[in-house]
Amino acid sequence: MGGMTVHRPELHFAPESGIVEAPAGALLDGNTWHLFFQYRADPKSPSRWGHTFSEEAPFDWLECDDPLAPEGDETGLRAGSVTAAGGDVHLYFTSVKPDSTSVEVARYDLFDDVCEISDDPKALDTRVTRIGTAASDQDGYRRFRSPVVVADWVDPEARGEGHDGWLMLTVAGDAKSPQLMIFRSTDATTWTLSGPLEFDGNPGEELQPGQVVVSPRIIRLRDEVDEKIYDVLMVTIERNGAEHAGYVVGRLNGTTFNVTMPFQRLDYGHDFTRPRITNYTPGSEDESTRYDEGVLFGLLNGIGRLDDPTTHKSWAEGQWANVISLPRVITLQGGTIFQTPPRGLPEAINNASRASSWTGLLEVPESSSVTLSLLDSAGDVAATICHRGSTLELTRHGAEGSDEDTATAPLAEGDSDSLTVIVDGSTVEVFADGGQVAMASRVYFDGGFSSVTASSGGDAEILRDWYINHN
């Protein structure tokens, strides 16, 4: 068991011990949140899947027995997705072997039973059964991986007719030049290759041929402006040894993604990557409003896949590394995703013993600013967040800083300026201007976080603020 340290978050999911490498999938079953994740028990162990759940609100995570671990000649299992298909819950995961990868399917029986944990940390959940291969080498395409499964449309041009069958989006090919591929199925277990995903329209520089695109996700959202239902393709881009996540808005018909809005960043912080969408078991969502919003989780780990977890202070002090973000409620407004903290978070912070938050309504004219300073236990500034009206900056100071310790996000002109900051252990998540911009970064506060101080410059004003701090 990893030791408790000041870096361990209280409301975010972090492992008791080991290294979280990616969220694998999230599923809301009634009022119970289930989060599956790819992790290693230690740096030399193979990757496998873990499972944690939280009842009522997604802030109090309890671990379950692992659902999946490598078998036979598998050298590891990587992330995928979790889908409720009819009366079954299916886990779609990447099986890694010495010279190949494939997409496999497992069924999780008795999903609504009480989740138990064994004394043996390597014990597997006996309710999970592998049922077959979804995608392996075929038609000249190799190394299928990173699956996401969603319901397919009866008619993609008449979305009011609802869903029929299933759609799977995967990555295939060499790691340096991957392709996005589409499969379809009538039963969510046997899959037929439709072909490579192609864009009609400019998806943006980040999705041009030759770019390293990984970890695709797809969600459907109704745009609040024109009230049409769009497909939102989320991807993680690997560039210059680091990762950043973003999305393209359009409509998928067959294998063609008709672009209506090119690539936009999903998060502008230092550490957010590999977003995962929450799916629902039947009856767990209101069908009449199912496209109005979605919920996503992401990984906070540094630079992404190439990150070295053993360099993290949490590993040195507690033998654990990386955190899953708070869930974010996402909506689509004029082709842009807005992200806001989840419902129930203020109550959760009020009832917490260490997590803190600051929310302010601001007036920030050009050439003015509002700055929040996040202080460590000695009262020294560990991080600053600066709202300049047209930009938002998050700067890490001290040991966590580097030549690029300031992350910057653009802010569009709007009627209102606002800022919400959540500090939980070593995690800092920032939401600005009603969710127009989100930023997530890890900050290792020396001795732990102590307080927030706010100041204004120029003609900026803090009109109202709400501050919850238990430190």
- pLDDT tens column, 122-137: 899 999 999 999 999 9
- pLDDT tens column, 11-60: 999 999 999 999 999 999 999 999 999 999 999 999 999 999 999 999 99
Confidence of residue 330 (pLDDT cuts 50, 70, 90): very high
Structural class in CATH, domain 18-340: mainly beta
CATH for 352-468 is 2.60.120.560
Q: What is the pLDDT of residue 405?
A: 87
CB 394 within 8 A of CB 405: no
Instruction: List the chain domain ranges.
Output: 18-340, 352-468
Average pLDDT over residues 97-115: 91
- pLDDT tens column, 417-428: 999 999 999 999
- pLDDT tens column, 366-386: 899 999 999 999 999 999 999
Q: What is the pLDDT of residue 421?
A: 98
CA distance 397 to 138: 50
% residues pLDDT > 90 (the chain): 80
Confidence of residue 2 (pLDDT cuts 50, 70, 90): very low
Nearest to 325 by CA among 275, 369, 278: 275
Model confidence at 401: pLDDT above 70: no
pTM, two decimals, is 0.94
Average pLDDT over residues 209-231: 94
Model confidence at 402: pLDDT above 60: no
Higher pLDDT, 175 or 132: 132
- pLDDT tens column, 386-397: 999 999 999 999
Model confidence at 415: pLDDT above 90: no
Higher pLDDT, 288 or 430: 430
Q: What is the pLDDT of residue 111?
A: 81
Average pLDDT over the chain reads 93
CB 412 within 8 A of CB 397: no
